[in-house]
Structure 1
Amino acid sequence: MYTPNLTATDGEVYVALLDTTQVFPATIEENRWNGFTVPRFRRTVAESIATWLNTMHDHDPGKWTDTATFDGDVLTVLETEEHRPDRIEPDENDRYAIGYRGWCWILTVPPSDPQADAGLLADSVRLVPEDGEILVTINIDGTDPVFPSLASEIYGWSRAGCPRFRRTVAEVVVAWIRDTARKYPGGSDLAYWEGDTIVLVDHQAIGEDGYLPARITAAEDGRFSIGASFEWERAD
């Protein structure tokens, strides 16, 4: 199966077609179409989408009826059953609106390594509290990890505050978010690292006009405030 390795550039997010796992970076329009994202892809990504569509068609033409070819700068997507060509020319930013307001694109995250996440979650040394830290958790099934953190500088420990995690702990928090999404894929939030930035995708908001994933950078003290809308609980 075709699995391109494509990384988002500045201003891009990750999208996938509904009920598929192949992920592509894109810019997205502010307004949704029936709750779905409206993406635009740079040329190299559009070429990868064309190759992916053709591979899926070859694998299962009954389910994947579209094929795609480039002719110069024009991408033609052909629905083979109806023989209806969709000619897609690059816009003023040299991007291609593939499946424009017709395909069910959703916001998602790039693939992650379950074994790497499991290794982080098993690294108990990372979760030893330092002086002044409190322990917090989100109790989903009674087996969720406990994370050392500092309380909010503004609100202290309260529902209005957000725990602040050291980088080594923040890496475990992100691994836990991803692991939770694998266990409960229907409505869990998603997260990934983009360099030194955490990108957090609120699953409940992905269909809302104007929504973009939250980008969390370290404060001056090097700590990350993760999950302002999460139901964190004290565990100490």
Structure 2
Amino acid sequence: MGTTPAGETLVQLFDGSPAFPALVGDERWHGFCQPRLRHQVAQDLARWLNLSHATTGFPAIATAVLTEHELTLYEYDDREPTVVTADSDGRFLLTGWSWMPADTDSPVALPTIPVATDVTVTLSVTCGEERFCSFRAVLADLFDEYGHVIPRVHPDHILDVCGDLNTVAYFRHDARLLRFRGSTLVQEDTTDPDAAVVIDRDADGLYPLPGYRCHLDPNT
């Protein structure tokens, strides 16, 4: 995470968790700090939350997706996701968690992902009945540039997953549909026949499905 810029202090959620540099004012939430994180630090936080969940299988404080201006936190108790919008300085104010001054002068290394980690992923959008589409998948590189999971689906499950994703696409008027042409999986664009994308199996024989705005389910 590099050196701590002037004016920032290191904060952490509990002993042994990574220390994140942040601006911390005098305001408190039940006695705990309310740090303001730069985008790069918010990216480190999101990655730590997601990696910790994927590697331990234990319900995390939250799983996360980060875009340029929004940090979305999916909490373990099925509450509505919390969306934190960057302020005028491009920082994300985090409140409601037990942030405290760090007891270390250096950040803790982020966990790594074992090969073929099997998890539950959830589509970050709803369909007509406001239900989330969830399915089992295997992780590889884990996340796209926005923090969304890139799931890899086993051939035994791909038809069911395609059906669920296509149902959501139908209700949300999404032009993308997943279909098999013979034994080949294709992502079709109903508005542009020339925009079809062939989805080949990867080296492990799994189907990677990027671009579907999936996040890790924090409850599994």
Measured against the shorter chain, the TM-score band is: 0.3 to 0.5
Query: TM-score of the superposition, structure 1-length normalised?
Result: 0.42
Higher-strand-fraction structure:
2
Computing the radius of gyration over CA atoms, which structure comes out larger, 1 or 2? 1
